[in-house]
């Protein structure tokens, strides 16, 4: 199998699994208990919190709240704000993850993006006004990989007294994230996007006074996660998440550079193969994703339905996606691709390829051959 859907989930690293194993078998205590096995579990959670804090450049591990993943982290930001006098609106980009764009906030202003998926700066500035109390712009988009100028946005928000959140789920592991340098008040990350286990993520909160835990929907469990998230901690998952962060800390840009180079080589190979078949004119790079830094390549093949392509490639043991995993079963065209100017039909003809350090140049060349051969077969039919 050639796995090219790493924006959806990643393979768990061997060192991560080894770190988790004791907490599945021998050290299985509940960290909320007072006896030794429970206290050792608590120590393991505390260690992981420190590892995640170091990964994000946070000042204190207490700024890290463990969650079930990026979606919950994003939801948490928007669900627990106290009333702020005269500030009633939020500002989000048009290409945010569904966990933000579909949250249904009544006073939500949308920042437009250009054809490459970057926010239009003048539009952002124009929409910033005294009624805005929170802005949210994702660091790297989950469908087209576009990287937004988070530091510039954060500085502007800080200067204007606006809280700033960034969904850093797809940026994590490929781009260095320092929450202080980026002027972030909130940041969301997810374990299973960085070779950690599924079902665990984190929300960075610069100042816990910014969020009121009483506004969160929950009954009981007030003692876990500083009172911000009830329920017994997923100790093995948290331990694995911490280890994944530790492995990547300080290596993000090296990893990102290597993956970016692999992505660009694959794009070049795809172009060469399509040219060989006389099909180069139907192959397109959506939002200039091949040139962007990071793991995501979003391509359009005119007249070839993405879902059909995904299923045909699956039969040949190549895994790609027809868009975000959160929307892969929907019939509606990607709103992200529409936001950057594609038509409904063009969006439906687009597939997402996303890489990781586990991919090799040899398998990417093989995948490029299989994709071109599949398209040629479809066009001949």
What would the pLDDT profile of 224-236 be if each residue is shown by its tens digit? 888 888 888 999 9
**Which pLDDT does position 79 carry in this prediction?**
78
Q: What pLDDT was estimated at residue 101?
A: 79
Determine the Cα–Cα distance for residues 182 and 358; give it in Å rounded to an integer: 29
Residue 148's pLDDT is 97
Confidence band, pLDDT 50/70/90 cuts, at residue 217: low
The fold for domain 2-8+252-380 equals 3.90.1150
Whether residue 326 lies in the annotated active site: yes
Q: 252 pLDDT exceeds 60?
A: yes
pLDDT in tens, 165-176: 999 999 999 999
d(CA 337, CA 143): 8
Our CA angle for 124, 127, 132, nearest 5°, is: 110
Dump the DSSP string for 94-160: TT--HHHHTS--SSEEEE-B-TTS-B-HHHHHHH--TTEEEEE--SB-TTT-PBP-HHHHHHHHHHT
What's the pLDDT tens digit per position in 19-75? Answer: 999 999 999 999 999 999 999 999 999 999 999 999 999 999 999 999 999 999 998
CATH class of 14-248: alpha beta
Catalytic residue among 168, 183, 245, 326: 326
Alpha-carbon distance of 319 to 5, in angstroms, equals 6
User: Tell me, what's the pLDDT at 102?
Assistant: 81
The pair of three-digit structure tokens given for residue 200, joined into one six-digit string = 């665990």
Contact 38, 29 (CB under 8 A): yes
**Three state DSSP letters for 14-32:** HHHHHHHHHHCCCCCCCCC
Query: Residue 82 has what pLDDT?
Result: 57
Residue ranges of alpha helices (H) inside the chain are 14-20, 36-56, 70-79, 98-101, 121-127, 150-159, 235-248, 252-276, 306-315, 335-339, 344-348, 361-380
Looking at the whole model, is its pTM more than 0.85? yes
> For position 220, what pLDDT does the model report?
58
pLDDT of residue 328: 47
Query: Per-residue pLDDT tens for 162-216?
Result: 999 999 999 999 999 999 999 999 999 999 999 999 999 999 999 988 877 765 6
Indicate the SS3 state at residue 313.
Answer: helix
Residue 78 has pLDDT above 90, yes or no: no
Domain boundaries, the chain: 2-8+252-380, 14-248
């Amino acid at each position: 199998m050639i796995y090219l859907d790493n924006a959806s989930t990643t393979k768990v690293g061997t060192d991560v699994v080894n770190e988790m194993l004791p907490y599945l078998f021998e050290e299985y205590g509940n960290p909320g208990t007072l006896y030794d096995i429970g206290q050792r579990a608590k120590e393991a959670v505390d260690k992981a919190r420190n590892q995640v804090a170091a990964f994000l450049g946070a000042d204190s591990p207490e700024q890290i709240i463990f969650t079930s993943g990026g979606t919950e982290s994003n939801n948490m930001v928007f669900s627990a704000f106290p009333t702020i006098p005269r500030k009633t609106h939020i500002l989000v980009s048009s290409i945010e993850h569904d966990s933000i764009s579909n949250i249904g906030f009544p006073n939500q202003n949308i920042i437009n993006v250009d054809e490459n998926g970057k926010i239009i700066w003048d539009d952002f500035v124009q929409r910033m006004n005294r009624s805005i109390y929170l802005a949210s712009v994702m660091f790297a988009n989950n469908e087209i990989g576009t990287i937004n100028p988070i530091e510039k946005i954060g500085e502007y928000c800080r200067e204007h007294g606006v809280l700033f959140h960034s969904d850093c789920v797809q940026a994590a592991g490929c781009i260095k994230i320092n929450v202080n340098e980026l002027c972030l008040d909130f940041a969301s990350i997810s374990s299973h996007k960085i070779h950690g286990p599924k079902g665990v993520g984190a929300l960075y909160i610069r100042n816990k006074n910014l969020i009121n835990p009483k506004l969160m929907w929950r009954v009981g469990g007030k003692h876990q996660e500083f009172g911000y998230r009830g329920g017994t901690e997923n100790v093995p998952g948290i331990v694995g998440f911490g280890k994944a962060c530790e492995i990547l800390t300080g290596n993000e840009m090296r990893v990102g550079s290597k993956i970016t180079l692999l992505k660009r080589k694959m794009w070049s190979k795809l172009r060469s193969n399509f040219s060989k078949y006389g099909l180069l004119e139907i192959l397109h790079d959506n939002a200039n994703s091949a040139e962007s830094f990071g793991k995501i390549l979003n391509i359009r093949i005119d007249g070839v339905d993405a879902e059909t392509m995904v299923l045909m490639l699956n039969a040949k043991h190549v895994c790609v996606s027809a868009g975000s995993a959160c929307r892969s079963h929907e019939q509606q065209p990607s709103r992200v691709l529409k936001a950057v100017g594609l038509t409904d039909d063009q969006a439906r003809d687009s597939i997402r390829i996303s890489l990781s350090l586990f991919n090799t140049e040899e398998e990417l060349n093989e995948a490029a051959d299989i994709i071109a051969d599949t398209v040629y077969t479809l066009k001949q039919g």
